[in-house]
Amino acid sequence: MDSVVGAVFGTVLAVVVIIVFEFLLRLSLAIVKLAQTGFSWAKTPAIPFFGHLKWIDSGQCPWNFSDISPKPGASTYCVLRGTLPCLVTSDPEFIREICINAAAHFHSRMVDPLAPDPHSARGVHVFGARGARWKRIRTLSSRALSTKQLRLFVPVVVDQTERFLQTFDDPECESKDVNVHSLFQSLTAAVIGRCAFGLGAIGVNEVPEHFEHIMNMFGNQPTVGWGSATIQWCIPSSTSTMNVASSFWKRLKKTAKAPNELLDDFIRKCLVNSKTTCAGALPCDFVQSLKGYLHEYDEKNVKFERKSPVFVNKDATVNDWIDSEEIVAQCRFLSIAGFDTTSNTLTFACLLLAETPSALTKCLTELDALSDSLDYDDISSAGYLHCVLMETLRLFPHASMLQSRLCTSSYTLPNGKVIPAGVGILFDTWALHRNKLLWGPDADEFRPERFLEPTIAENAFTPFGMGPRQCIGMRFALMEAKIVLTMLLRKYVPVLPPGVSHKTVGMALIDTNTVWPTDLKLSFKKRE
């Protein structure tokens, strides 16, 4: 008996020693890599061995990076996200350099140990992919969001928005404070359901299946406890072991499927039922567009992509094929990102317009002059509305935590500083967008007219990212937001409750890695 206990103890001790050794080795290598960059270190966190992981995962991080800045005005500095070496930057020249000029060295998003392997996993979407695989998925997905497709989507968005506005047509709702963010989420989820999955018209009180799954997946602030995610950030090699253990435990306990699994099942059902051709002038939904390139997983198809993890040839021919699980992953990503980011933008835009009567008046004058039957050209011609959305995204770059890069091969910056391979880059977009040296002394104020000025700091504006990996859904999101605001503001104007302003509005980083307004309520007054 003693020998068995001794053997078990010895095995456990050996495992602990190996884990500690790997952790210390990774931590040491990360510190060495960051030291090679020559940038200053951020303020020391409360628990140095785990770096700034818990602080970055907190719900107040995106707009408070200055709290860990080594000195006032420091634009780039070193942090440790577990054992991942990272640089935080709000330097527009640095961001432009790595996103555009040196994109081949920074073509990947920052590594997330909890995400599927970008090379070997079947279910990888464009956001998580890299190298040749990223280019293939990006190219095929871009065709589903072409200008031609956007034009065909306009009537769909208009029809769904008309149904949404029935909420405000009820006399009992007029001038009543409502959770506008929640309302916009229901609308954008319905639009995505029709444009991504080919669903029919969705009633104002209906909760489509995909939206139910998404809301069960997200909406909470990230945990800052010491769970399995912390272990995986500190020891990435533990991820595969934990995934196997989790899968075994689920089968053993016969637990119900998680919301993300249910959403994937829903998309697979849409994929099976979807046709591969579009009828007449009807738009192809995302699933339908990608199904036209469907080719089931084959080791030969991914052999080249695995050998070419670095994006070295931007002119290389893209193979027109996509695996069914890639379609599921891509449509899951587009549906979550599409419903989430657009509803955030619409909410913050209404807040800012309600707070700024002069901007609201200019916006109404422009929108009232558009034709009654909106089309793509009408929306594109609304210049001041475009400025309103740009200024909203400048003040509230709610997807900033999704903007990151990973150095895949060492690169020397124009200033001589070296970024070693394996270093991640986090963008401090909030500081960049409110930098008074770049945007003027009124950088904290809502002034859409600044985007009409020739001196606009274009290189310092990155709400959708920059370069080849700029947000793939940007044009769709802006089109949808413009249609919704046009139709809403033609009938109603937002009214700000007492004591609410864009400088005091509650916000939190949610587990979608985007910033949501918390408990913001506005009322909408019917126009005369």
Count of CB atoms situated within 10 Å of the CB of 2: 6
Residues 6+ apart with CB under 8 A from 37: 78, 87, 417, 418, 419, 420, 423
Give strand pairing partners of 427: 89
**Is residue 10 over pLDDT 80?**
no
The pair of structure tokens assigned to 16 is 């602990």
Q: What is the pLDDT of residue 446?
A: 98
* Structural domains of the chain in order of their starting residue, each with its CATH number: 2-526 (1.10.630.10)
What are the tens digits of pLDDT across the range 186-211? 999 999 999 999 999 999 889 999 99
* Token pair in block for residue 177: 């404070």
Q: Is residue 309 over pLDDT 60?
A: no
Neighbours of 278 (CB within 10 A): 15
How does pLDDT run across 84-119, given as a tens digit for each residue?
999 999 999 999 999 999 998 998 888 777 788 887
Show the tokens assigned to 414: 């124009």
pLDDT in tens, 228-250: 677 777 887 777 676 666 666 66
Q: What is the CA radius of gyration of the chain?
A: 24
Position 297 pLDDT exceeds 70 = no
Extract the tokens encoding 398.
Answer: 């709610």
**SS3 state at 323:** coil
471 is in an annotated binding site: yes
Q: How far apart are CA 148 and CA 154, in angstroms?
A: 10
Please say whether the beta carbons of 82 and 53 come within 8 A. yes
Per-residue model confidence (pLDDT) at position 306: 57
Q: 99: which DSSP letter?
A: I
**Residue whose structure tokens are 């033609």:** 490
Token pair 């040296």 is found at 437
pLDDT at 243: 65
Outline where DSSP puts E strands in 174-226.
178-179
